[in-house]
Amino acid sequence: MPQDPYELLGVGHDASEQEIKKAFRQLARELHPDVNAHDPDAEEKFKDAAEAYEILSDAERRATYDRYGHEGLKSGGYAPNFDGFGSIGDLFNAFFGGGAAAGPAQGESVGVAVEIDLIEAAQGVTRKVSFQAVDRCEHCHGNGAEPGTPIETCDRCGGAGQLQAVTRTPFGQMVRTMPCDVCHGDGRVATKPCRQCRGRGRLTARRELEVDIPAGISDGQRIRLAGRGHAGEMGAPAGDLYVIVSVAADDRFVREGDDLITSLDVAAPLAALGATLEVSTLEGGVPVELAPGTQPGEVLTLREQGMPALRRSRRGSLRVGLAKLSGVGD
Ligand SMILES: [Zn+2]
Ligand SMILES: [Zn+2]
């Protein structure tokens, strides 16, 4: 019994085209094998979702379903079948682009979060990050064949790496080109699949990497390391690694762009007479002269004592707000 496509995608019967597309995209992401490797039913669920999307994304097909249900679609000659798509990655690409060209798919990107403190953000720091990523299988060197066994031209696509899928709809035939599900676009298949990676040419492994975090980085900024993400399918480039940097709040300084703001307690008589006081900077305490007549509430600006500007030689300022030391000098 085919399921209700609205229910499958989790949208209401009045959902807009945009909402339907968004719901499907969301679901597809969740079911993607790189994200959801532990769910053995993910592929089946994704195909169901794709069928639901095929119905609801086409205005006339949707209207037919709304009036006559699945029976109406069937008697109109519409019989969705996504078994020919093979892997979810191929199906995903078929819907969302990126796989329009034949050939093995590029690897996906990976994100990893890192927290540093303000001093590290000011000076720059090297951090070791650790993450799970798909790597080339070293047993078969990524070609998917058990070493010493022959690799032959793919029977299914005749070596072209792509297939034409013809879908019959009530409104005519739809032809779509997609990567071959047997060879995944490679055009060649192993006669005996690699026993380590079961012929995929790739394996998931934990990876460690030293990442240089540049001086001046801000909270929430991302560092992109090209080609350090998931390995691509045979011969295709790897995805990227994104290191998402958060900078922890500091007790002494508030950051405002490249400037830092701090406060200093000053006894009123001292400020009136002038004095030398120690101000905390990122590099430690520095003596600062207060001119006679300085009032609490004034702001001293120490140039070049703020944060370094990212990838530039200049630095921001340290602004020191003079606060009246309570209980003294009234
Ligand atoms: Zn292998
Ligand atoms: Zn093929």
Distance 276 CA to ligand 2 centre (A): 79
3-class DSSP state for residue 57? coil
Distance 18 CA to ligand 1 centre (A): 41
| Residue 304 pLDDT class (50, 70, 90 cuts) | very high
pTM for this model (two decimals): 0.55
Span 284-312, average pLDDT? 90
Distance 318 CA to ligand 2 centre (A): 63
Distance 232 CA to ligand 1 centre (A): 14
**Which residues, 6 or more positions from 15, have their beta carbon under 8 angstroms from its beta carbon?**
6, 9, 23, 56
Strand residue runs (E) in the chain = 110-116, 125-136, 151-153, 162-169, 172-179, 188-190, 202-213, 222-225, 241-247, 254-256, 259-266, 275-281, 284-290, 299-302, 318-324
Distance 154 CA to ligand 1 centre (A): 18
Q: What is the pLDDT of residues 77-118, one digit of tens each?
A: 666 656 545 455 556 655 655 433 456 678 888 889 999 999
Which pLDDT value is given to residue 101?
Answer: 46
Distance 145 CA to ligand 2 centre (A): 15
Give the Cα separation of 234 and 184 in Å (integer).
Answer: 9
Which pLDDT value is given to residue 328?
Answer: 46
Which pLDDT value is given to residue 318?
Answer: 97
Span 275-302, average pLDDT? 90
| Residue 60 pLDDT class (50, 70, 90 cuts) | confident
For residue 248, give Cα distances in angstroms to 108, 118, 209, 262, 263: 29, 7, 22, 16, 19
Residue 181, pLDDT above cutoff 50: yes
Distance 135 CA to ligand 1 centre (A): 10
Which pLDDT value is given to residue 91?
Answer: 61
Distance 150 CA to ligand 2 centre (A): 16
Whose atoms come closest to the Cα of 154: which ligand? 2
Which pLDDT value is given to residue 68?
Answer: 87
Whose atoms come closest to the Cα of 196: which ligand? 1
Range with lowest mean pLDDT among 16-30, 89-103, 153-167: 89-103
Whose atoms come closest to the Cα of 160: which ligand? 2
Span 40-46, average pLDDT? 76
Which pLDDT value is given to residue 100?
Answer: 39
